[in-house]
Copies of this chain bind each other. A is one copy, B any other.
Amino acid sequence: MQVFNSIKEIQQWSLQNKKQGKTIGLVPTMGYLHNGHLSLVREARKQCDIVIVSIFVNPIQFGVNEDFDEYPRDIQRDQLRLEAEKADAIFAPAIKEMYPGGYNTYVEVLGEIPGKLCGSRRPGHFRGVTTVVSKLFNICLPDKAFFGQKDAQQALIVEKMVKELNFPLEIVRVPIVREEDGLAMSSRNVYLDHEQRHEALILWQALQKAQESIRSGETNVETVRRQIKQMIVACPQAQIDYIEIYNASDLADLQKIRGQVLIALAVKFGSTRLIDNLIVEV
């Protein structure tokens, strides 16, 4: 497995691989890899000749009061895990390599999809995501790029960007990977203390309960949101950021629950903000 820090070097390497007719799969990550990330890598390994995993904690997608400095990092452990998964290359650039002095070019998806859920709470977040992802696409030249369903809104926005800017590649969405007790895997789970870790199980439980309720015939959005809310507020440390139910393909508001709907939650436990979601088909 090769480790690249230089944009020029990995871009050349990718170009050479493409010239040899090899397909490239890219898994963009911020590192501190857990089994959720590794499931993306495994999917890329199955579908592509060459697997590149980028590890870059992207400063421009963090707000000023967010956890950029504290975001967990362990490149050596990441490297061992990726070797075990038979990734071909890691791309781990320095911040200055990605954003040299005077950097001023941004890619942005506007409109309804980025204006909801995390987009409305984290101004600039998705602009930071679409910008870095565009850069990674141009640098690594993937045929396919793998994104987790955990960040459902991110996947939708990246898909829209790829379609609208005509990137010559396909986005593959990979299902959420959960701990045995149901907590969605996240690099931020390490922030949770014992009690918070236990309380956080409510997210998955509430999503499952909502699914049950919808499958039993409930079509009222507010009723389902209220059911979820009641479960979460029963946890002493939980502070709800949002509980939303939208059309799964474009985050459009729903009069009634029907078709494919996305139930999305963001809840803080102490200072740790967790997200989780479930797509329910009616």
State whether the Cβ of A58 lies closer than 8 Å to any Cβ in chain B.
no
A5 to chain B, nearest CB (A): 14
User: Which one of A99-107, A191-199, A239-247, A264-272 contacts B?
Assistant: A99-107
* B104 A160 Cβ-Cβ under 8 A: yes
Copies in the complex: 2
A108 interface neighbour in B106, B109, B161, B165, Cβ under 8 Å: B106
State whether the Cβ of A168 lies closer than 8 Å to any Cβ in chain B.
yes
Which residues of chain B are within 8 angstroms of A111 by Cβ–Cβ distance? 102, 104
A239 to chain B, nearest CB (A): 32
State whether the Cβ of A225 lies closer than 8 Å to any Cβ in chain B.
no
User: Which one of A65-73, A74-82, A134-142, A202-210 contacts B?
Assistant: A134-142
State whether the Cβ of A110 lies closer than 8 Å to any Cβ in chain B.
yes
Which residues of chain B are within 8 angstroms of A165 by Cβ–Cβ distance? 105, 107, 131, 134-135, 138
A107 interface neighbour in B7, B106, B139, B160, Cβ under 8 Å: B106
A254 to chain B, nearest CB (A): 18
Considering only CB atoms and an 8 Å cut-off, how many residues of chain A contact the other chain?
A: 30
A278 to chain B, nearest CB (A): 25
Given A105-B107, A109-B104 in contact, is the A11-B166 Cβ separation under 8 Å?
yes
A105 interface neighbour in B7, B104, B164, Cβ under 8 Å: B164
Task: Please report the C-alpha to C-alpha distance between residue A11 and residue B169 in the assembled complex, in whole angstroms.
Answer: 11
Binary contact track A18-61/B, C-beta < 8 Å → 1, others 0: 11010000000000000000000000000000000000000000
* Chain A, range 134-188, C-beta contacts under 8 Å to B: 134-135, 138-139, 141, 160-161, 164-168
State whether the Cβ of A279 lies closer than 8 Å to any Cβ in chain B.
no
Task: Please report the C-alpha to C-alpha distance between residue A19 and residue B22 in the assembled complex, in whole angstroms.
Answer: 10
Which residues of chain B are within 8 angstroms of A104 by Cβ–Cβ distance? 109-111, 160, 164
A100 to chain B, nearest CB (A): 8
Task: Please report the C-alpha to C-alpha distance between residue A21 and residue B19 in the assembled complex, in whole angstroms.
Answer: 7
Chain A residues within CB distance 8 Å of chain B: 7, 11, 15, 18-19, 21, 102-111, 130-131, 134-135, 138-139, 141, 160-161, 164-168
A15-B168, A106-B110, A135-B164 provided; 9 other pairs, C-beta below 8 A? A7-B166, A19-B21, A104-B110, A105-B160, A107-B108, A107-B134, A107-B165, A138-B165, A139-B166
